[in-house]
Amino acid sequence: MRAPSGTLHVIDFKTDQIVANIQPQDYWDDIRHWEIKNNIDTLEFKVFDNTEHAATLMQQNLVLKEVRDGRIVPYVINNEVEKDSRDRSVTVHASGAWVQIAKDSYIMPQRIEGKTVNQFMDMALIGTKWKRGKTEYAGFHTMTIDTIIDPLTFLKKIASLFELEIQYRVEVVGSQIVSWYVDMVKKRGRDTGKEVTLEKDLVGVRRIEHSRDVCTALVGFVQGEGDTIITVESINDGLPYITDSDAYQRWNENGKHKFGFYSPETEEQNMTPKRLLTLMKTEFAKRVNTSVVYDVEAAAIGRVFGLSHELINEGDTIRIKDTGFTPKLYLEARVIAGDESFTDPSQDKYVFGDYREITDPNEEMRKLYNRLLGQLTGKANKELLDQLEKLVEENGKTIETIREESKAVKELAEKVQENLKNNTVNIIESKQPPTENLQIGKTIWRDISTGKPGILKVWNGKDWELLIPDVESVKEETLKQVNKDIQLTKEELNKKVEEAQSETNGQFKEVKNSLQEVSQTIKNVQNS
């Protein structure tokens, strides 16, 4: 990916024309602060007063900045420009230009039924200079708007409803902005595989554990029509709550449950107890254990030392490693906010969220092996341990073979299905020649313009070629042959699947017997 030039382009807000280009050597103390969650994006920088470009930095003018992912982000100067006589500098404060969408129009209270994200966005952007850009969602949703809202709030509601993230950008041709885009994507950023290490670019990590949201029983409910409340009592033995025995053993006080309450935020109009129970179980899984938060500060060494492969971008998922923790700390985290400086990359700081603790498989394997070795100390010789390791290795290879054969069966089934589709004949009965979805040699027209039984014709790519006037017999014979081919293919596929399943079951049985032999060997050694 090409690195941004660092040039700041100043735009006249009335004409959308570039009126100044500020090079990196002409500004300093620049900080871009961004947050994914609320689409916060601000830019601050200093220039010398009494210069040509300083004169263009007036209220409501725009500043364009190319960011690391290649987007050109527009900022509007909407705060007072600060002048400092001590160093003859001008400090500019600008915010993402999309904040102005809130003033472009209004949305009246209404219920919007079964619309796609594209349809929702088009409704929100009517009357603005912005238009729909990239979208990543295929589906329909319903939204109820209870009060008058502005278009920017509407966009945020749309993103929340479809579980998407918003990003804004402009397109520049020559010296003028030609397009303003709003994108809604599933997830900004990439899974880079980058590993942030304490000794390399991790400044510090704090692991904070708290139990304020822990509960041993969760009560779920949804407001129904009128005064009715939907619960799970009817399908949960008359109880409006669900419990977890492990959480109860750990967190109960004097034998009493700790109750939590949950009402899902959803636009579903036909909520059922069964659906509510599913949502409750998902939520309950988050509340039976303590919450862990990590406060991380990282230096972007890619900017400091010019290593492009080390750059951290908006929304990127990275790995955080700190072997100084006991046990060693391995995290998967996402960059959700940051402060970036083009002129002084040592000032770059990031906030990480969406944490997921990763178990180091090598570390766990060593622990398991050492524990087993400790149990066998003084009772087993080297030959027995070598035999055990060999058996585990062979079992691993057997399981891998089963996986490969299962994959082959699946690919065979998909290929057969594709062949069936490709050999299907489409017969269309009409008085006028068909004009759509024509396939050479496969689209047959039953011409009944002169009455039935009609004349059978096939599409050869240019015109309709006569087949035979006996339509019914040909159609019946064609369908019989197709059905026969389908049945033969189906029988062959079933036979191959049965053979694969039989062989797989035999291999699973061998693995199971081997594992039982290992367990019996360990038991015999321990009892000896």
Confirm if 176 and 17 have CB atoms less than 8 A apart: yes
Does residue 395 carry a pLDDT above 60? no
Tell me which amino acid residue 265 is: E
* Range from 28-42, 120-134, 481-495 carrying the lowest mean pLDDT: 481-495
- Residue written as token pair 């049965």: 498
Q: Can you give the residue ranges of every domain in the chain?
A: 8-100, 104-185, 191-209+291-358, 212-284, 361-528
Does residue 385 carry a pLDDT above 60? no
- Give me 130's structure tokens: 């912005």
Tell me the whole-structure pTM to 2 decimals.
0.56
- The partner residues of 89 in beta bridges, in order of sequence, read 48, 84
pLDDT at 32: 94
Does residue 508 carry a pLDDT above 60? no
Closest C-alpha among 337, 379, 328 to residue 358? 328
Closest C-alpha among 308, 302, 346 to residue 2? 308
- Give me 313's structure tokens: 């971008």
pLDDT in tens, 78-97: 877 788 878 889 999 999 99
pLDDT band at residue 293 under the 50/70/90 scheme: low
Confirm if 68 and 1 have CB atoms less than 8 A apart: yes
Q: Say how many C-beta atoms besides its own lie within 10 A of residue 459's C-beta.
A: 20
Q: Give Cα 513 distance to the centre of its chain.
A: 41
Confirm if 27 and 78 have CB atoms less than 8 A apart: no
- DSSP tag of 345: G
Q: Are strands 176-185 and 130-135 parallel, antiparallel or unpaired?
A: parallel
- Residue written as token pair 């014709």: 457
pLDDT at 475: 52
Question: For the residues 357-380, what does the mean pLDDT come to?
Answer: 57
Closest C-alpha among 36, 318, 339 to residue 190? 318
pLDDT at 427: 77
Does residue 466 carry a pLDDT above 90? no
Greater pLDDT, 330 or 185: 185
Among 8-22, 68-82, 244-258, 494-508, top mean pLDDT goes to 8-22
Does residue 416 carry a pLDDT above 50? no
Greater pLDDT, 479 or 346: 346
Confirm if 392 and 385 have CB atoms less than 8 A apart: no
* Cα torsion through 246, 252, 255, 257, rounded to 10: -90
- Give me 507's structure tokens: 């291999």
Any idea how long the chain is?
528
pLDDT in tens, 24-69: 999 999 999 999 988 899 999 999 998 888 999 989 999 999 998 8
pLDDT band at residue 170 under the 50/70/90 scheme: very high
The CATH number, out of the four listed (3.40.50, 3.55.50, 2.30.30, 1.20.120), of the domain defined by the range 104-185: 3.55.50
End-to-end CA distance of the chain: 64
Q: Are strands 349-357 and 40-48 parallel, antiparallel or unpaired?
A: unpaired
Question: For the residues 451-469, what does the mean pLDDT come to?
Answer: 77
Give the whole-angstrom CA distance, residue 336 versus residue 36.
Answer: 5
